Amino acid sequence: MGGEELKKTFVMKGIGVSPGVVIGKAYLFDRLDAQVPLYKLSDPGLITEEIQRFRKALRESEKQLLELKGRLGDLGGGMDPLYIIDVHIMIMKDRKFVDQTIQNIREMSVNAEWAVRMTVDKYREIFDRMEDDYLRGRISDIQYAGQRILANLAGKKRTVVGTGEGVIIISTDLSPADTAQMKLDRVLGFATDIGGKTSHTAIVSRSLEIPAVVGLVNVTRDVRTNDDIIIDGSAGVVIVHPDPEVRRRYEEKKRLYKDAQDHLLDYARLPAVTRDGQRVEIGGNIEFVEEIPSAIAHGADGIGLYRTEFIYITREELPSEEDHLASYCSVIGAKGLSWSTIRTFDQGGDKFYLDKKSSHELNPQLGLRAIRFCLKEVELFKVQLRAMLRASVQGKLRIMFPMISGVEEIRAAKGILLEVKEELLAKREPMGKDIEIGVMIEVPSAVIVAEELAKEVDFFSIGTNDLIQYVLAIDRINEQVTYLYEPLHPAVLRLIKQTVDVGHRAGIRVAMCGEMAGDPFYTMILLGLELDELSMNPLAIPRVKKIIQGSTLRESKALLKKVMTLSSSAEIRALVDAAMRKRFPEEFQINGQ
């Protein structure tokens, strides 16, 4: 008490996944689901008490919602929010909902939190079976009501993230669905307990240009809402309760960082051509169409990866064909982009789940992901493909299929695409003429059968995020094994080389769209490997272009040649590190990578 001003500064180290410095207030974002205590009541005498706790939480929840409704009503505007609040109140008063929960407490001797969760789960099962998409989506209202009750059982008020001042989000982890719920313009930075360089939290924060540090282990334990904190996403550091001196230094760092970015934009405007005339196409990786202006401003020639799964997570109902169409037209038709690579839906793994059943998979990274899911849910797949074909009149479209592990999958996907095309032709729907088809090379077996795959497609795009995870057997979001995640592992480099060689022999283009493509530390190696296109986070483009414009193909190939003779990652890293520091001292003298 009274010691507010004197809180001790402390530093936490994690993995910097999105560069930049932010200074602000922390906001502890707790996904309630992860934190709810579940236990059996030790004594039957506690049952009545537990039921009273539940009833009290119901009353408090209703009171809060009525207050919220009053506040929103005072603001005027549309009726929708008020109507939704009424729905939530109705759920909390619903006899079946209340009785079922009380019955759970009585019959199973569980605490109120557990009982609420069971009721919500039961409703979810019923809703999952509903035919109507809209009705099925309404489970979210029941879940919201349930979460509010859980918050009150825990004695917390549920606050909306991102109202008022900008905040730095502190969380155990952030799924794309969590981020989609936030008012991102109010989010200054992210700091999470778990995650690695290529987890989707990392990718999303980079594309939104929000500094982020993940893998901090205990940040949710050690930082409280309203604490002053600094995030240095470039260094992977979080500073809690910074003293005035530290704060001043970081204000300066923040300014320098911004200057450096602006100055790099000079490189962005010019094409990515080496000093001896080798041209590399540069793509932007995007998750939202809102990122297109940033991709163009940072010097992308086209879009090398549009992660369309994000169309699904920003809404509660399944997107319609027209929703898809609108997004694809914005990408393909964007002025300033020469081509657009749209990847079909890649759900699963560390991304979100459309199908609740697969969220219970024991090994989601090896489960019903990406193309596997689409080949199973053909109707859903067709909606997306139809929209892509219809949008192709707007410009140059490249359709890319993720997680292809062998020829059967690409043939099946192409077969479905052909069916959709014929349906559209029968309806005289106009379509672009020169649509290209490609596969992501991200499963090791795809490299092994690349020769066969090359006969089926117009291009390959290497997804190093998954390729590394699968070939080195490292979960890409598990911070315990991040140290093993090594793009310069000889096995990884050999797989990339093999893919490029096979692709070129077959006369097709080979791109790379994993995070490795956007790290300037690897740029000379990738030049030496002769990739035709590098696609990356838009923010990363200027620096990568700078390296390409300052290198020659000849020296890059010479470097690669030496690298390919080495047998360990450590030796390779040391060699590349020395080469990059020597050639580009201003870029690599401090952090090494």
- List contacts with Mg ion (CB under 5 A): 442, 463, 466
CB 440 to ligand PEP: min, Å: 7
Helix/strand/coil (H, E, C) string of 246-276? HHHHHHHHHHHHHHHHHHHHHHHHCCCECCC
464 is in the binding site of which of ligand PEP, Mg ion, none (Cβ under 5 to 8 A by kind)? ligand PEP
Tell me which residues in 118-147 interact with ligand PEP (CB under 6 A). none
Q: Which listed residue (113, 232, 346, 519) binds ligand PEP by CB under 6 A?
A: 346
Q: Which is nearer to ligand PEP, 205 or 465 (CB)?
A: 465
Q: 136 touches which of Mg ion, ligand PEP, none (CB within 5 to 8 A by kind)?
A: none
Q: Are 488 and 482 contacting, i.e. CB atoms less than 8 angstroms apart?
A: no
How many CB atoms neighbour CB 490 within 10 A? 17
Binding region for ligand PEP (CB under 6 A) out of 125-133, 227-235, 461-469, 551-559: 461-469
Centre a 10 Å sphere on the Cβ of residue 523 and count the other Cβ atoms it contains.
Answer: 27
Query: Which of the choices Mg ion, ligand PEP, none does residue 514 contact, using the CB cut-off of 5 to 8 A by kind?
Result: ligand PEP
| 28 φ/ψ angles, rounded to the nearest 5 degrees | -80, 110
Pairing of strands 509-512, 459-462: parallel
- Residues in contact with ligand PEP, total (CB under 6 A)? 10
Q: How far is CA 478 from CA 157, 173, 193, 483, in A?
A: 31, 11, 11, 10
196 binds ligand PEP (CB under 6 A): no
Question: Contact region for ligand PEP (CB under 6 A) — 42-50, 156-164, 385-393, 463-471?
Answer: 463-471
Catalytic residue among 88, 324, 489, 513: 513
Q: Which is nearer to ligand PEP, 62 or 287 (CB)?
A: 287
- Which of 561, 551, 567, 583 minimizes the C-alpha distance to 276? 551
Q: Do strands 21-28 and 167-171 pair parallel, antiparallel, or not at all (unpaired)?
A: parallel
d(CA 473, CA 564): 22
CB 201 within 8 A of CB 161: no
Angle at 365 between CA 361 and CA 366, to 5 degrees: 80
DSSP states along 196-225: -TTSHHHHHHHHTT--EEE--SSHHHH--T
Candidate residues 179, 274, 464, 537; the one interacting with ligand PEP per rule CB under 6 A: 464
In the bound state with ligand PEP, the residue whose beta carbon lies nearer, of 88 and 398, is 398
287: left (phi over 0), alpha (psi -120 to 50) or beta: alpha
* 463 counts as binding ligand PEP under rule CB under 6 A: yes
Q: Report the residue from 62, 281, 301, 466 that binds ligand PEP according to the rule CB under 6 A.
A: 466
Burial level of 580, CB count in 10 A (0-12/13-18/19+)? Answer: buried
First to last CA, the chain: 44
Cβ-based nearer residue to ligand PEP, 91 or 305: 305
Half-sphere exposure for 97 (CA within 13 Å, toward CB): 23
Structure tokens at 426: 């029968």
Rounded distance between C-alpha atoms, residue 529 and residue 269, angstroms: 24
Compare residues 192 and 465 and give the one whose CB is closer to ligand PEP: 465
- State the residue number with the nearest CB to Mg ion: 466
Gap between the Cα atoms of 435 and 530, Å rounded: 24
Smallest separation, CB 402 to ligand PEP (Å):
7
- Which partner from the list Mg ion, ligand PEP, none does 513 bind, CB cut-off 5 to 8 Å by kind? ligand PEP
Q: Is 513 a catalytic residue?
A: yes
Smallest distance from ligand PEP to CB 537, Å:
11
**Choosing among ligand PEP, Mg ion, none, which partner's interface includes residue 475 (Cβ < 5 to 8 Å by kind)?**
none
| Closer CB to ligand PEP, 109 or 344, in the complex | 344
Six-digit token string for 344: 């079909």
Instruction: Find the shortest distance in angstroms from Cβ 436 to ligand PEP.
Output: 18
| Minimum gap (Å) between residue 61 Cβ and Mg ion | 40
Interface residue with ligand PEP among 61, 199, 234, 465 (CB under 6 A) is 465
Q: Which is nearer to ligand PEP, 319 or 514 (CB)?
A: 514
Smallest separation (angstroms) from ligand PEP to the CB of 508: 18
442 belongs to the binding site for ligand PEP (CB under 6 A): yes
The tokens for 508 are: 């097709």
Q: Is 329 a catalytic residue?
A: no
User: Least Å distance between CB 521 and ligand PEP?
Assistant: 17
Q: Any residues with CB less than 8 A from the CB of 543 and at least 6 apart, and which?
A: 264, 267, 520, 587
Q: Residue 513 Cβ, how far from ligand PEP at the closest point, in Å?
A: 5
Choice from 514, 528, 538, 542 touching ligand PEP (CB under 6 A): 514
Of residues 513 and 526, the one with the C-beta less far from ligand PEP: 513
Distances (CA, A) of 348 to 76, 268, 357, 358, 554: 41, 34, 11, 8, 41
513 binding ligand PEP? (CB under 6 A): yes
- Residues 295-334, interacting with ligand PEP (CB under 6 A): 305, 307
- Give the H or E element holding residue 306: strand 302-307
- Rounded CA-CA distance 402/342 in Å is 10
The helix-helix angle for 80-93 and 95-108 (nearest 10°) equals 40
Enter the DSSP assignment of 318. P
Min dist CB 498 to ligand PEP, Å, is 17
Catalytic residue among 88, 200, 298, 489: 200
Query: Which residues contribute to the site for ligand PEP (CB under 6 A)?
Result: 305, 307, 346, 442, 463-466, 513-514
Active site residues per annotation: 200, 513
